[in-house]
Amino acid sequence: MKTNKTPENLQLVIFGGTGNLSRSKLFPSLYSLFRRGKLPENLTLLGLGRRYSNESEYLNALSRKAKNVLSNYSKEIWQEFSRDISYQRFDFRSQDCYRNLRKKLKKADDSSASLTSNLIFYLAAAPQHFGTITEFLAKYGLLKSEEESWPRVVFEKPFGYDLDSAVRYNNQVRNFVPEENIYRIDHYLGKQMIQNIFVIRFANALFEPVWNRNHIDNIQIISTEKSGVKKRGRYYDEAGAMRDMMQSHLLQMLAMVTMEPPVDMTPECIRREKIKIFKSLASPNPENIENELVLGQYVSGSIEEKSVQSYQDEPDIRKDSLTETFAALKLQIDSLRWQDVPFYLKTGKRLGEKRAEIIVEFEPSFHPALEKNLNPDNSNILRMTVQPKEGVSLQFNAKKPGKKHKTVPVNMDFCQNCKKNFNSPAAYEEIFTGLFRGDQSLFTHWQEIKHSWQFIDSVKKSAEQADIPIISYDAGTRGPIEADRLLEKDGRVWWDEVKSYENI
């Protein structure tokens, strides 16, 4: 599908508009775009939900949340922004609600004949509602348009809980919405450094010639959090770290960093190469999975000198839950470029540090005369840091001043969001910008969803067959010590736990 320009007139309808995601991420991101003059000229916003009884109550709730989460909040600017926000109490299963929705949208469009072509339905709802919502939208004529690529329907993560549910939800949705009009969210694709991976790889002669098994020893993809499950206990206890993080965010980062160079940078070509990676993920062997996977669950501990409770004591969590809140996985990609290169993925909650990064460790290739002065810490390392800082650093070796034969690792470091007065657009700001103009490179295709679920399901099945234990770890630590041993057995270390060296 060709990328379109952002239309001047647009109606955005958010199902689940009263939920925490909408209040803490979606509307604040739209507000930030409004402040920067990046919203369509005539954009109307409609929140749908059951929590608030009237529009005034809803707008006050949005304002209070925005004030808490936005550093650039201004009461005057928010009031101007919120003039185009309206609210409708809504039950996803009530056909009367869809009739009223159609009437409201026609009134907003000021048209006696038909609805505006530029409609976006954003489903910030649980996936089991996707089929019902799209079916009723179609039944009441809300998915009809004479213009190609409209209306657009957005589906929030997760798209399913396993392959079977994802296939079922996709079949339900595709009965009413063509693939080219579907936008499946993975907000990591909106993060600045994730988008920068292509430029780092393909716009620098320094990297692409050595981006293969001959020069790379291993790649680590890490996303850790200090926070617990917050208000997502009911969902998270059914999902766990493997389904919540690895199936989506971490595998997306893996695909971006390992895909073959696309013919061009169109969404179609990028997706094609990413899908090839998902298809090439080697299924784990149940007989060897204990050497490739570590699962854990946090118990009570301390983070930033504050006591935090155990996972099983969190709201809406079963007291005997065996859901993993930590996962470390070693995997392989069956391709010529990446043959025998191990990939290590790690994610967890209630760890000592919030961090997301991709770490590329290059093969040691030193002159024989210098090898005796080097140690494992002297590896050449490329770090692409996604959060909290955004940037790139390259670790290489140099002579230590004043020491004739002493070689030390040093860093060249670029921090994108460390610049004074620089505000990097938030992920959802980028997601909305791409959505308005129809850029599907920031969204996931069904084939990506399908093959990533196939892989995660195979890992989960192998873990169950091998009876992989859920290891307890104290909140505020690095996670189970077994995760360190996972790499130690291969003669490697997690580079997020190795100190940084002096910048140059």
Please state the residue numbers annotated as binding site for NADP(+).
16-23, 50, 91-92, 157
* End-to-end Cα spacing for the chain: 45
List the binding residues. 16-23, 50, 91-92, 157, 187, 191, 225, 244, 349, 354
Question: Which amino acid, residue 238?
Answer: E
Q: Which helix (H) or strand (E) holds 348?
A: strand 343-348
Catalytic, 451? Answer no
Q: Are 149 and 4 in contact (CB under 8 A)?
A: yes
List the binding residues for substrate. 187, 191, 225, 244, 349, 354
- What tokens appear for 133 in the block? 């919502």
DSSP annotation string for 28-92: HHHHHHHHTT-S-TEEEEEEEESS-SSHHHHHHHHHHHHHHH-TT--HHHHHHHHTTEEEEE--T
Helices 75-82 and 27-35 pack at an angle, to 10 degrees, of 110
Residue spans of beta strands (DSSP E) within 287-336: 293-299, 301-303, 306-308, 326-331
Which residues are 254's β-sheet partners? Answer: none
Instruction: Select which of 215, 249, 405, 445 is catalytic.
Output: 249
230 dihedral zone (left: phi>0; alpha: psi -120 to 50; beta): left
Which class for 219: exposed (0-12), middle (13-18), buried (19 or more C-beta within 10 A)? buried
CA distances to 135, 215, 292, 329, 390 from 344, in Å: 41, 17, 9, 6, 21
Rg (CA), the chain: 24
Specify the residue for token string 């009570």.
300
The closest alpha carbon to 328, from 233, 470, 163, belongs to: 470
Quick one: CA dihedral 205, 211, 215, 216, positive or negative? Answer: positive
| Residues with active-site annotation | 249
